[in-house]
Amino acid sequence: MRRPAIEPTGVERTVSPDSVIVSKTDPKGRITYVNHTFLEISRYREDEVIGRAHSIVRHPDMPRAVFELMWRTIGQGQEIFAYVNNLAADGAHYWVLAHVTPSTDRRGRTTGYHSNRRHADRRALQVISPLYDHLRGLERAAASTRDGLDASRAALATTLQERDQSYDEFVWATISDGES
Per-residue pLDDT tens digits for 103-145: 999 999 999 999 999 999 999 999 999 999 999 999 999 999 9
Is 55 inside a domain boundary? yes
Is 72 inside a domain boundary? yes
Q: Which of 118, 144, 146, 148 is nearest to 135 (CA)?
A: 148
Is 16 inside a domain boundary? no
pLDDT level of residue 175 (50, 70, 90 thresholds): confident
Decide if pLDDT at 150 tops 60.
yes
Is 73 inside a domain boundary? yes
pLDDT for residue 3: 60
Is 15 inside a domain boundary? no
Is 28 inside a domain boundary? yes
Q: Which of 124, 127, 141, 135 is nearest to 175 (CA)?
A: 124
CATH number at residue 26: 3.30.450.20
Is 141 inside a domain boundary? yes
Q: What's the predicted TM-score (pTM) here?
A: 0.91
The DSSP H or E segment spanning 114 is strand 110-119
Q: Count how many domains the chain has.
A: 1
Decide if pLDDT at 1 tops 80.
no
- Residues 25-63 pLDDT 10s: 999 999 999 999 999 999 999 999 999 999 999 999 999
pLDDT for residue 149: 97
Domain containing residue 90: 21-179
Is 44 inside a domain boundary? yes
Going by their DSSP bridges, the two strands 80-87 and 93-104 should be labelled as antiparallel
CA torsion sign for 45, 47, 50, 55 is negative
